[in-house]
Structure 1
Amino acid sequence: MTDGQDVRDNTITADVALAGGGLANGLIAWRLAQVRPDLKILIVEAGQTLGGNHTWSFHETDVTPDQHDWMAPFIVHRWNNQQVSFPERQRRLETGYRSITSERFDEVLRSAPNISVITGTPVDWLSNDVIGLTDERRIEAPLVIDGRGYYPSPHLQLGWQKFLGQHVRLEKPHGLDAPVIMDADIPQEGGYRFIYLLPFTDTEVLIEDTYYADDDALDTDALRRRIATYAQNRGWQIAEVIREEDGILPITLGGDIEAYWRDYVEAPPSGLRAALFHPVTGYSLPDAVRVADLIAAQPSLRSNDIVDAMRSYAIESWHSQRFYRLLNRMLFWAAKPTERYKVLQRFYGLSPRLIERFYAGQNTLGDKIRILAGKPPVPIHRALPCLAGRHPDGISPVTERA
């Protein structure tokens, strides 16, 4: 639909046009609609709904109180604490946890009077001020933002976080009173593996099988079998699979962010397309919230000005997160695949505030020293090359621009 937009022939005009209706573009649209109600904002999405089929979660401390306030309508589930479990460590953390569902995401965005939506129509091409749709319509806007997902590039060196989750209804209550962020006390197959649990009601829970691996192949049938086995081992009988989601998230090991941005010139990118995600977790919500605030605060909403602001933000973020890419190299290169869990098992023995700053991507120098202090959870002869930016086996050299 194009309610509120000017239409002539096959051309639609708007003040802001967003290609892709995922998390990053949706939050940009919502924040602009709040701050600038005079704007005509248009989101174009290839799928039938905004947000696809996802559950986005974040730690309460990942965003500021003001950001919590403006994104509150999206939040469906709230918990006051969270848990982790490893073979040699179980811990409960008093950090709040929040979740957004794609259904709520779509509903909230469509409720804004100055946000219009076109769904079921892929983008064919775009530039700084025009989006061409596959049905031959054109969208003209001074600001075009490209949020169509991860953009493959030779300038980024990656590992992968892969997952399949099932929102299930159980025959009897599951007994959980908080999310289990990582249950790694399970067989380690294909890399660091854990189960992620979100208890929605007494009998409904999201069971997600997640693992960090060197390749991006996703065997969904194998993950379904592993989820069924996990539920059985916990004594849970699945009465119904309500919904299923899967994904493959990039995890950065190194790269040249300036070269990445030089290669991408069509329009200002957002989210994964702008390489804006936590290097270790692959999650993009905290950056998406910050970028929405950044764009809403710009005096000029024209593509050339926004791309400059976005480039500066992305490059600054990349350089500030160099330490996290070092940790990824330790995880992927220094540890045996079946022993990668030891890196996270040790990490979860550190202070709660340090862990909160880690997920927010805001660790201090003291935090970094503390994380690396003591006996490493990986063989020292393999850890040292990673610290120097080299693969322990002499392959995959890391490019890191200071």
Structure 2
Amino acid sequence: MNHYHYIFTGNGLSALLTLFEMIQSGRFSDKKILLIDSDSKNKNDRTWCFWDTKNLFDEISAKKWQLAWFKNKDFTNQLNLNPYEYKMIRSADFYKLIFDEIAKHTNIDMFQDEVVDFSELGNHCVVKTKTKSFTCNKVFNSIYNPELVKSQKKIPLVQQHFIGWFIKSKEAVFTENCTTFMDFSVEQKGNTRFMYVLPTSSTEALLEYTLFSKDLLSKEEYEREIEDYIKKLGITEYEIVEKEQGNIPMTCFPFWKNNSKNIINIGSAGGWSKASTGYTFKNSVKKSKELVRFLKTGKDFTKFHKINKFWCYDLLLIDILYQTNQHGSAIFSSMFKTEKAPLIFKFLDEETSFWEDLKVIWMCPKGLFIKALLKRIF
């Protein structure tokens, strides 16, 4: 049975970012590392977007925007994102960057198979796939188990689910330098529903029909709404170049309580997506850096996570969206009808002071949050 210092069960975003940070640190070149996944990650299977001021992964950013539309049925606001830029990264470019780096290091192996079990046995761990078993010192698990959240009622689960079409149109209808961050002018139907548009030219864009809600839709309903939106844009002829779909868990569930001394849950399995927005890429970059710094301390993984004030803020929003999902548009509209997008981004990045927190909170419908807070307390 082959032994490794570190095994990653799953080689998605969180695993690859953590491994990349380990490589960049230069502290793990003498450690044997194994990545296991049933998927070869050799195609473009998703798109990540995030706001940034620090040239993060500029070399593989497919597009950047300095302006963004926010829309609902009552108003349209063009947001100046300065000093931030809104960036788009295509997963195929990210995978290539990381795998090219991995190929330079003989201490890192990759194995394509499905992980069926992993466990901690004293001071080492065992990882089993359909065809082989391995032992290691520590496991980074990114295999998400939704039943952990669904089997309890104390912490709710809202799902960010979407289908996106990347299209080329005959008509030049898109504003290339301005993304559509959220367009709540689509029918809400008792939910929080919006269209998300990422233009790469005047005739090309990724359009995603997105919901923050408890329940998923049929594939036909997402695609029907995209078709209707395309018609409203004045497009009469277009080609669908690619399709993508996703479902991101939005929850404050304490995944970290399932960490053990030598096994840590990362990515969606560890609650690395920002609960209140579902944004994953930048949050995972931060978490991976924290985790690699933590590894150097030699402490056990049960001591990695700490709750902060932003976890509490997120919990109140998720409570509201779970209980009264129809209020999502009003909440986000109250924030983005102002000219304070940079402050909101700073808040969502969990980098604001308490006084800055209050400025953002003051923008929101206070009755909803007071009611949610009182319900949590009592």
TM-score normalised over the length of structure 1: 0.80
CA distance in 1 between counterparts of 2:75 and 2:145 reads 35
- In the alignment, which residue of structure 2 is the partner of 1:31? 21
SS of match in other structure, 1:174: coil
Q: 1:323-402 residue pairs with structure 2 within 5 A?
A: 323-334=313-324, 337=326, 339-350=327-338, 351-373=340-362, 377=365, 380=367, 384-388=370-374, 390=375, 398=376
1:226 aligns with 2:225: yes
Contact 2:182 2:196 in 1 (8 A): yes
> CA distance change for structure 1 residues 201 and 147 in 2, over 3 Å: closer, same or farther?
same
Q: 1:118-137 residue pairs with structure 2 within 5 A?
A: 118-119=111-112, 121-128=113-120, 129-135=125-131, 137=132
- In the alignment, which residue of structure 1 is the partner of 2:243? 244
> CA distance change for structure 1 residues 241 and 14 in 2, over 3 Å: closer, same or farther?
farther
**Per-residue CA shift, 1:277-326, capped at 9, x if unaligned?**
21211122222111221233245487xx351353x2xx324x54202222
Percent of aligned pairs sharing the same letter: 18
- In the alignment, which residue of structure 2 is the partner of 1:167? 166
Gaps of 5+ in 1: 1-10, 391-397
CA distance in 1 between counterparts of 2:318 and 2:295 reads 37
Letter in 2 for 1:110: F
What is the count of residue pairs matched by the alignment? 358
CA distance in 2 between counterparts of 1:273 and 1:185 reads 33
> CA distance change for structure 1 residues 274 and 50 in 2, over 3 Å: closer, same or farther?
farther
Q: 1:1-400 residue pairs with structure 2 within 5 A?
A: 11-36=1-26, 38=29, 39-49=31-41, 53-61=45-53, 65=54, 68-69=55-56, 71-95=57-81, 96-112=85-101, 113-114=104-105, 115-119=108-112, 121-128=113-120, 129-135=125-131, 137-151=132-146, 152-153=148-149, 154=152, 156-177=155-176, 178-213=178-213, 215-237=214-236, 239-252=238-251, 257=254, 260-263=255-258, 265=260, 267-298=263-294, 300=296, 305=299, 307-310=301-304, 312=305, 315-317=306-308, 319-334=309-324, 337=326, 339-350=327-338, 351-373=340-362, 377=365, 380=367, 384-388=370-374, 390=375, 398=376
> CA distance change for structure 1 residues 132 and 138 in 2, over 3 Å: closer, same or farther?
same
> CA distance change for structure 1 residues 18 and 371 in 2, over 3 Å: closer, same or farther?
same
SS of match in other structure, 2:117: strand
CA distance in 2 between counterparts of 1:209 and 1:125 reads 35
SS of match in other structure, 1:142: strand
CA distance in 2 between counterparts of 1:168 and 1:333 reads 35
Deviation at 1:131, TM superposition (A): 1.9
SS of match in other structure, 1:15: strand
Letter in 1 for 2:346: R
Deviates more, 1:278-287 or 1:191-200: 278-287
CA distance in 2 between counterparts of 1:51 and 1:284 reads 19
Letter in 1 for 2:90: T
Contact 2:169 2:237 in 1 (8 A): yes
SS of match in other structure, 2:249: strand
CA distance in 2 between counterparts of 1:333 and 1:224 reads 26
Deviation at 1:371, TM superposition (A): 3.5
CA distance in 1 between counterparts of 2:294 and 2:159 reads 34
**Per-residue CA shift, 1:196-233, capped at 9, x if unaligned?**
011123322110001122x2323211100110110011
Letter in 1 for 2:162: F
CA distance in 1 between counterparts of 2:321 and 2:46 reads 26
Deviation at 1:79, TM superposition (A): 2.1
Deviation at 1:58, TM superposition (A): 0.5
Contact 1:51 1:105 in 2 (8 A): no
> CA distance change for structure 1 residues 239 and 97 in 2, over 3 Å: closer, same or farther?
same
**Per-residue CA shift, 1:357-397, capped at 9, x if unaligned?**
133133432233334437x648x4x6543131x2xxxxxxx
Letter in 2 for 1:58: F
Gaps of 5+ in 2: none
SS of match in other structure, 1:34: helix
> CA distance change for structure 1 residues 348 and 17 in 2, over 3 Å: closer, same or farther?
same
SS of match in other structure, 2:96: helix
Deviates more, 1:171-180 or 1:36-45: 36-45
> CA distance change for structure 1 residues 387 and 156 in 2, over 3 Å: closer, same or farther?
closer
Letter in 2 for 1:30: F
Deviates more, 1:353-362 or 1:93-102: 353-362
Deviation at 1:332, TM superposition (A): 4.2
Deviation at 1:13, TM superposition (A): 4.0
CA distance in 2 between counterparts of 1:399 and 1:377 reads 19
CA distance in 1 between counterparts of 2:243 and 2:164 reads 6
SS of match in other structure, 1:290: helix
Q: CA RMSD in A?
A: 2.8
